[in-house]
Amino acid sequence: MSKPRNRLLGALPEEIHERLEPHLDDVSLSLGQVIYESGERLEHIYFPTTCIVSLLYMMENGTSAEIGVVGNEGVVGIALFMGGETTPNRAVVQSGGHSLRMRISVLKEEFRRGGRFQQLLLRYTQALITQMSQTAVCNRLHTVDQQLCRWLLLSHDRLDSNELTMTQELIANMLGVRREGVTVAAGRLQEAGLIQYHRGRITIVDRAGLEGRACECYQVVRNEFERLLGNAV
Amino acid sequence: MSKPRNRLLGALPEEIHERLEPHLDDVSLSLGQVIYESGERLEHIYFPTTCIVSLLYMMENGTSAEIGVVGNEGVVGIALFMGGETTPNRAVVQSGGHSLRMRISVLKEEFRRGGRFQQLLLRYTQALITQMSQTAVCNRLHTVDQQLCRWLLLSHDRLDSNELTMTQELIANMLGVRREGVTVAAGRLQEAGLIQYHRGRITIVDRAGLEGRACECYQVVRNEFERLLGNAV
DNA sequence: CGGCATTTGTACGGTTTGGTACAGTTTTTA
DNA sequence: TAAAAACTGTACCAAACCGTACAAATGCCG
C-alpha cells in the first residue's frame, strides 16, 4: 500500500471496510498530546496510521510508568468495546503523526455484529495483553539496559524511520526510572555502536545488535503479535 | 447462595444459565497443578469456585513471575474466546479447591451469540488487564514489602478463610524475588502484627493494616474489579 | 552576539535487592 | 526412632538503582 494506513483496518474485508470508511476521520496528533486521561470517557476510538501512542499509569505522587505502546498495528481505546468505557491510565502521543478515528456509536454497532471486525479487535487485545504482562515480567527481572533495548525495539517496529524524536527525560518517564539512569544506559548502547543520539534524536544504528542485547521479553511480544495478527496484516 | 459458585456464572440470566448448566463439570484441582502450559491448546475453559489460579510467565532460565491471579470472580483461559487459542504463560493452582469447566465448543457457541455471556467475559478480561498492567507498575516502582502486601490482599480477596497455605518459596516464585527476600519482608509484617505465619501457613491478622502498608496498586485493581463487575456479581 | 532554557554528563553516598552460604527448626519418611 | 527432607532465619558482599547536586554542552530567541 502506498498510502500509510492502519493495519487492523487494512485487514478488514472489502464489505466491512466500505461500511466503515465514511465514518473514519483523519486527525493529526502532536507529541505529548493526551488522547485520554485516566478514567475519562471517550467519544472516539483511534486507529493510528503514522503516530505512536503510549499507555501510561500515573502514580499519585506524579511518577509514571508505561504499560503498553500502540502504533498502526493496533487501536487506542480498547475499553470502549471491552465494555468498561474507561481505564485507569493515560494515553499520550509518543511520536507525532496521524490517526484515523471513529465515533464510539459506529464502533459499537459494528462490533456487535460479531464478524471479522470484532475478531480482529479481540485478537489485537490479546496481543496487547501479552505486551502488558511481558512488561510486568521485564520490570521485575531485567536491567534498565535490557529494558531500554526492548523499548527502542518496540518503538522502532512502529516507525518507518530509524530516527526517533525523544529526549532521555521522556524515555525515563516511560520506563519509570531516573533520567540519569537512561543517560548511562544510552551511553553504553552508543559506545557499543548500537545507537546514536543527540539532543532528543535517537538513531537506530544496529538493530540486530539491539535485539541481541535485549532480554527475551521483546521476542515473546513480537512473536505473539505475529502469531495473532500476522496473517491478517 | 449457600453453595460456593463462580460469580461470573452466577451473574448470568436464568435463560443462559439453564442452557449452560448441563455443560458444566465440577473438577477438583490440587495445589501446584498446572492447568495449562505456555503455548498449550486447551480443551476446556475453567470457572473457579473455591480454588485460586496463578498466571505465571516462565523465563527461559527457569525463574518466574506472576502476571495475574484468578479466583471465583473470573475465568481461566481467556485466550479461548479472545481468539488466540493459547498464551505464552502458565496457569498454576495456587490454592487447591474446585472449579467448574466447560468444553471449548460450548464456550465459543455461547460467546458468539453476543449476549450477556460475552459481555461479562469481556468486562472480566478488561479487569484482568488492569490487574496485569498494575503488576507491571508495581514491579517497577514499589518495594518487596509493598508487593507482598498487595499479593496477600489479592489472594485473601479470593479466599473464604484468613489462612492461606503457601510457603515463602512459592510466594517468592510468584513475586519473582528470592526466597530470602520474602522471609525478611514477611518477618517485618509479622513483627508489625499484620500477619502470622508458620511453615507454609499464613494467617491474615490485620487486614486493614495490610491495606495501609500496600501501595496504591492494590486499591486501583480492586476498584476496577468493583466498577466493572460489581453490579454483576 | 549574549542570555536563557533545554538537554546531557558525571559524581557520590545511601538503599534495596541479588547471590551465596550455612545454620536451626519442624515435619515427613524409612 | 533415626535419618532425610522441607521450611525458615541470618549473614555478608556485590550489583543495581535512587536521590541529589552540579557542571557542561547545545539550541533558541531577543
pLDDT in tens, B25-47: 999 999 999 999 999 999 999 99
Mean pLDDT of B200-208: 95
Structure-model confidence comparison of residues A172 and B232, the more confident one: A172
Q: Are B92 and B37 in contact (CB under 8 A)?
A: no
With contact defined as beta carbons under 8 Å apart, do B53 and B35 qualify? Answer: yes
B141 with A227: Cβ contact below 8 A: no
Distant-in-sequence, close-in-space partners of A97: CB < 8 Å, separation ≥ 6 = A28, A29, A48, A49, A50, A51, A52
pLDDT of residue A105: 97
Phi, psi of B64 (to 5 degrees): -140, 165
At A222, phi and psi to the nearest 5?
A: -60, -45
Whether the full predicted model's pTM is greater than 0.85, yes or no, is yes
> Percent of chain B, pLDDT > 70?
97
Residue B2: pLDDT band with limits 50, 70, 90: very low
Residue A137: which of B57, B119, B125 has the nearest Cβ? B57
Look at residue A230 in the predicted model and tell me its pLDDT.
Answer: 86
pLDDT, one tens digit per residue, over B13-24 is 999 999 999 999
User: Which residues in chain B are contacts of A139 at CB distance < 8 A?
Assistant: 136-137, 139-140
Does residue A216 sit at the B interface (CB-CB below 8 Å)? yes
Residue that has been written with the C-alpha cell 453453595 in this structure: B3
Is A171 a residue whose pLDDT tops 50?
Answer: yes
Distance B60 CA to C22 C1' (A): 29
Asked if residue B50 lies in contact with residue B100, where contact means CB atoms within 8 angstroms, the answer is no
pLDDT in tens, A9-52: 999 999 999 999 999 999 999 999 999 999 999 999 999 999 99
pLDDT of residue A3: 54
Q: Could you tell me the strand order of the sheet in which A34-36 lies?
A: A34-36, A90-95, A52-58, A64-70
Asked if A61 is an interface residue toward chain B (Cβ–Cβ < 8 A), one would say no
Contact list in B for residue A57 (CB cut-off 8 A) is: 133-134, 136-137
pLDDT band at residue A209, thresholds of 50, 70 and 90?
very high
Q: Does B141 touch chain A (CB under 8 A)?
A: yes
Chain B residues whose CB is inside 8 A of the A137 CB are 57, 59, 65, 67, 139, 176
Are B54 and B108 in contact by the 8 Å Cβ rule? The answer is: no
Q: What is the pLDDT of residue B92?
A: 96
User: d(Cα B132, Cα A134) in Å, to the nearest integer?
Assistant: 9
Q: Does residue A93 have a pLDDT over 50?
A: yes
Q: Is the CB of A183 under 7 A from strand C?
A: yes
Under DSSP, the state recorded for B161 is S
pLDDT at A101: 97
A130: which residues sit within 8 A by CB, 6+ positions away?
Answer: A220, A221, A224, A225, B87, B88
A14, burial (CB in 10 Å: exposed 0-12, middle 13-18, buried 19+):
exposed
User: pLDDT confidence of B232, banded at 50, 70, 90?
Assistant: low
CA(A180)–C1'(D23) in Å? Answer: 14
Q: Report pLDDT for B230.
A: 86
Q: Is the pLDDT of residue A4 over 80?
A: no
Q: Minimal CA–CA distance to B83: which of A119, A111, A231, A131?
A: A119
**Alpha-helical regions (H) of A96-200:** 104-112, 116-141, 144-157, 168-175, 179-191
Q: Any idea what DSSP says for residue A166?
A: -
pLDDT tens digits, residue range A116-169? 999 999 999 999 999 999 999 999 999 999 999 999 999 999 999 999 999 999
Q: Which nucleotides of D are covered by protein (CB under 7 A)?
A: 6-11, 16-21, 26-27
Distance from CA of B133 to the nearest CA of A (A): 6
**Mean of pLDDT values over B161-187:** 96
pLDDT at B85: 95
Give pLDDT, residue A106: 97
Q: Which residue has the cell 480492586?
A: B222
Residue A135 near chain B (CB below 8 Å): yes
Above 50 in pLDDT, residue A2? no
Closest to A162 (Cα-Cα) out of A223, A103, A203, A207: A203
Which residue in the set B60, B126, B140 is minimally distant from A176, CB to CB? Answer: B140
C-alpha cell at B171: 510466594
Where residue A233 falls among pLDDT bands split at 50, 70, 90? low
Looking at residue B1, its pLDDT comes to: 42
Report d(CA B117, CA B13) in Å as an integer: 9
